[in-house]
A = this chain, B = another copy of it.
Amino acid sequence: MTSRIDTLLADKKIELPKAAAPVANYVPAVIVGNLVFTAGQVTVWNGEFKFVGKLGKEFGVEQGQQAARLCGLNVLAQLKAALNGDLDRVKRVVKLGVFVNSTADFTDQPKVANGVSDLMVEVFGDAGKHARTAVGVNVLPLNLAVEVDAIFEIA
């Protein structure tokens, strides 16, 4: 039987990156009851880091949205791996935490965060609508532009 979400991803030409294995004593996602907590995902595509720099300096809003979307694609890749490939088990995107590497005068974190919020709704429809916290930070790992973590409800 074909996965509904996999079919949708193919139809929309949304390609997921490879789910990267953490290189330290943590894991990309933990399932507890009907919740999945993902680790913070960054702007990486199959091992290659993208979007190195800060919003308000190296990047503007539109690039920030692409960066946030890329974080979201990694969130979905890790979620899929945690669910043994079955994204159809997702009942709801519960919460997104969006950390935006920002200069002190860049204040459009919500617009940047829309890059990943829109992705979730594109993939899961109304079930993709989530609570969200978007904040600025003065630096992120490897000076990447955006980091996103997530909580999902699964069946």
Q: A13 → chain B, closest Cβ, in Å?
A: 19
Task: Flag if A25 contacts B129 (CB, 8 Å).
Answer: yes
A133–B125 Cα distance when bound, in Å, is 26
Q: Is A114 an interface residue (CB 8 A)?
A: yes
A37–B132 Cα distance when bound, in Å, is 9
Q: Is A43 an interface residue (CB 8 A)?
A: no
Q: Is the interface of A mostly helix, strand, loop or mixed?
A: mixed
Q: Is A40 an interface residue (CB 8 A)?
A: yes
Please name the residue on chain B nearest to A40 by beta carbon.
Answer: B133
A37-B94 in contact given A25-B114, A26-B130, A147-B133 (Cβ < 8 Å): yes
A42–B21 Cα distance when bound, in Å, is 28
Interface string of A85-127 (1 = CB under 8 A from B): 0000000101111010011111111100110011011000000
Which A-B residue pairs are the 9 nearest by beta carbons? A40-B133, A136-B139, A138-B138, A39-B131, A26-B132, A25-B117, A25-B121, A133-B149, A37-B95
